[in-house]
Structure 1
């Protein structure tokens, strides 16, 4: 059986090294490369076309859902597993919606990680049960609100106190685009300003 090629995208060397050691011990998985940022990942995936990409949720330059959406364009056949230390992060919902094939926590034992990656390669969707137990409710609330994932993501960052320029930096969007998404979210929520929008989103179970 040919070993499946795996690429790791994480800005922490200790994580990349740990995964490298793990995969070396398993003949069915072969590490072909690594990247430490979203943009670097897009370049490397286009070159290497790995069977599976293990992607950190929090990269220094891009949000995981954005990276996933771009990877789906560049390499549609690649499986993507989000690997995170933050089990309750709402970004995981967005990552799954963007097309991730799985979400795993970084404290997963080595054998469990290998087994989960094999399952994803077989076509299963694997999500650690500790991640987002209320994921279904939150997705339902989002569907009812009519907000797109991007509008929701911008509103969520605004709720964390980020200004438009900060949101632009976090998401990699332009300031004008951030403003457009926020205005659209306000309109859909029937809110006059961002404070009211955050309140209404919170009441609707979105934040």
Structure 2
């Protein structure tokens, strides 16, 4: 049996939620486990339903997508978040990425591409629309990468490819304990809070490709 990817759909428009549910539920490996209409509802539903992927709109009344991302992080929700929005401007994109979004696509995305994006984010990849990657590239640059050792850069590249500590250790010929130490050092030097933000940094600075 194909492993089911449990999806939570968050959008303030009922017709959008219903359309996404109808489309996603016919995919063999996707199942919509719930819906929410705003950021607070997203956090509550995620805590209750424990989805694998959250498909999140950004512009919603009361509490928006960035509020949701922050709330999810505060509550320790494990789900990967794929932002789907109509607004490409940097003022909207950058806060969402910094708050922990693992992927970012636009609402005019082709349906098969959306399904592929959900699968990719669930698999641990960082997924950015090319225009989003360009916006990030023009944002504030960090100096932390200049303080990384060569080995830490290797580890960061592997993080950006969605590899676990065990996989990184195997690929680089290191112990898992050593990899864990390198990961902690990378996060501290870059001034980021988790592996997803470190991966986004690696993509933005061109250390790895955004595809």
1:85 aligns with 2:86: yes
In 1, the alpha carbon distance for the partners of 2:135 and 2:93 equals 12
Alignment root-mean-square deviation, CA: 1.6
Number of equivalences: 142
1:49 aligns with 2:50: yes
Deviation at 1:73, TM superposition (A): 2.4
Alignment of 1:1-207 (within 5 A): 1-131=2-132, 133-140=134-141
Greater gyration radius: 1
In 2, the alpha carbon distance for the partners of 1:12 and 1:59 equals 9
Normalising by structure 1, we get a TM-score of 0.64
Q: Could you report, residue by residue, the CA deviation over 1:104-130 in whole angstroms, capped at 9, with x for unpaired residues?
A: 100001100000110001100111113
Moved more, 25-34 or 72-81: 72-81
In 2, the alpha carbon distance for the partners of 1:65 and 1:97 equals 9
In 2, the alpha carbon distance for the partners of 1:29 and 1:5 equals 6
In 1, the alpha carbon distance for the partners of 2:26 and 2:88 equals 27
1:108 alignment partner, SS class? coil
In 2, the alpha carbon distance for the partners of 1:10 and 1:75 equals 21
Where structure 1 has 5 or more consecutive residues not aligned to the other structure, the ranges are 145-207
Where structure 2 has 5 or more consecutive residues not aligned to the other structure, the ranges are 144-211
Deviation at 1:132, TM superposition (A): 5.5
Q: Could you report, residue by residue, the CA deviation over 1:31-56 in whole angstroms, capped at 9, with x for unpaired residues?
A: 00000011111111111010010110
2:134 alignment partner, SS class? coil
In 2, the alpha carbon distance for the partners of 1:122 and 1:10 equals 23
Q: Would the aligned equivalents of 1:10 and 1:59 in 2 still touch at CA under 8 Å?
A: yes
